[in-house]
Copies of this chain bind each other. A is one copy, B any other.
Amino acid sequence: MVGAEELLECHKTIAPHIHRTPVLTSRLLNQMVGASLYFKCENFQRMGAFKMRGAIQAIMQLPEEKRAKGVVTHSSGNFAQALSLAAQSLGVKAYIVMPRTATAVKKRAVIGYGGEVYDCDPNLQARESLSKEIEEKTGATFIHPSNDMNVILGNSTAATELLQDYPDLEVILCPVGGGGLVAGTALSAHFFGKNCRVIGAEPMKADDAYRSFHSGKIESNETADTVADGLRTMLGDINFPIIRKYVSAIERVEEDDIVPAMRLIWERLKITAEPSCAVPFAAALQLKEELRGKKVGIIISGGNVDLENLPF
């Protein structure tokens, strides 16, 4: 298992390639929760999401001869853009497998960051087999969006920075999708916090992490019909043991509470944040009793929204 040194080393490695994102606060949101909230704004990260951190770290750990052959991933979301931009920044080729059904906007964004898009049928098997094929054909290294130790390490640096700025945080709330962010956050809180608990927040409609956390084995989602589209994915065998060991709890929020929480973030923090970001804040509103009077970090994971299709 990794320790504090590896986490600090990772932060040092990726720091020149990422933004140190700001932390925002709001008196009104504090009043609503009855706690002091510190929002770590990864929507201001390069390409608009924390995923940039893990993508940079994963590529930088590859030896030169592997970098020369490029990287491949499958993602319809922010990791597709993150790996493309990270690869471009480091002079590496990126092959991105995306479901045929991904919006043109998303594909254009990936191409804009220099990624080479490969369409596949919209199911996990098709994604995986096409990725495999590209790996074999090109020699590119596959990098999983969330179930990869270097991706987890990279993601951990958001909480590392947050705890450098606010060492006394008692809780950090963080969204749970594929598990890569919450695992990294929990590692940072464990090594750099002072008894700082990490609570993962998840939509009730894609509560695989909650069920996995309680059953002790990785559960999947039958359906994942949530507005928090970044959180529809499930945990992996690399991040799950970290989550079991270092995460304190998984809090689930109802669909109807996500959009109002998102709206408060937009109106009060004056930032554009994805629906997924609203999930930990919705959890904070729900956990008022537990959080009362505490210093609470909240990770705003990304800000890539389609302004034509806002939920309000």
**Are B267 and A307 within 8 A (Cβ)?**
yes
Chain A 269-291 near chain B by CB (<8 Å), digits 1 or 0: 01111000000000000000000
Q: Is A191 an interface residue (CB 8 A)?
A: no
Nearest CB on B from A302, distance (A): 9
- On chain B, the residues within 8 Å of A266 by CB distance are 272, 307
By the criterion of a CB under 8 Å from any partner CB, how many residues of chain A are at the interface? Answer: 18
A180 interface residue per 8 A CB criterion: no
Q: List 9 A-B contacts (CB under 8 A).
A: A22-B22, A24-B44, A43-B270, A44-B270, A48-B270, A270-B272, A270-B273, A271-B271, A307-B310
| B residues in contact with A273, CB < 8 Å | 270
Given contacts A22-B22, A270-B271, A272-B272, contact A263 B307 (CB under 8 A): yes
Does A308 reach chain B (CB closer than 8 Å)?
yes
Task: Tell me the dominant secondary structure on chain A's binding face.
Answer: mixed
Per-residue interface assignment for chain A, residues 141 to 163, with 1 indicating a CB less than 8 Å from any chain B CB and 0 otherwise? 00000000000000000000000
Residue in B272, B308, B312 whose beta carbon sits within 8 Å of that of A271 in the complex: B272
Q: Which residue of B lies closest to A303 (CB)?
A: B270
The reply to whether A308 and B303 contact each other, CB–CB distance below 8 Å, is no
Q: Give the contacts of A65-112 with B (CB-CB under 8 A).
A: none
Besides the contacts A48-B270, A267-B307, A270-B303, what 10 more A-B pairs have beta carbons closer than 8 Å? A22-B22, A266-B272, A270-B271, A270-B272, A270-B273, A271-B271, A271-B272, A307-B310, A308-B312, A310-B310
Tell me the A33-47 residues at the B interface (CB within 8 Å). 41, 43-44
Instruction: Pick the most buried of A48, A270, A271: most chain B CB atoms within 10 A of its CB.
Output: A270
Q: How far, in Å, is A41 (CB) from chain B's closest CB? A: 8
What is the CB-to-nearest-CB distance from A115 to chain B, in angstroms, rounded to a whole number? 16
| Mask: chain A, 246-268; 1 = CB below 8 Å from B; 0 = not | 00000000000000000100110
Which of A22, A263, A303, A308 lies at the interface centre, i.e. has the most chain B CB atoms within 10 A of its CB?
A303
Chain B residues near A41 (CB-CB < 8 A): 270
- Chain B residues with CB under 8 Å of A308's CB are 312
**Could you tell me the distance between the alpha carbons of A273 and B312 in the complex, rounded to whole angstroms?**
16
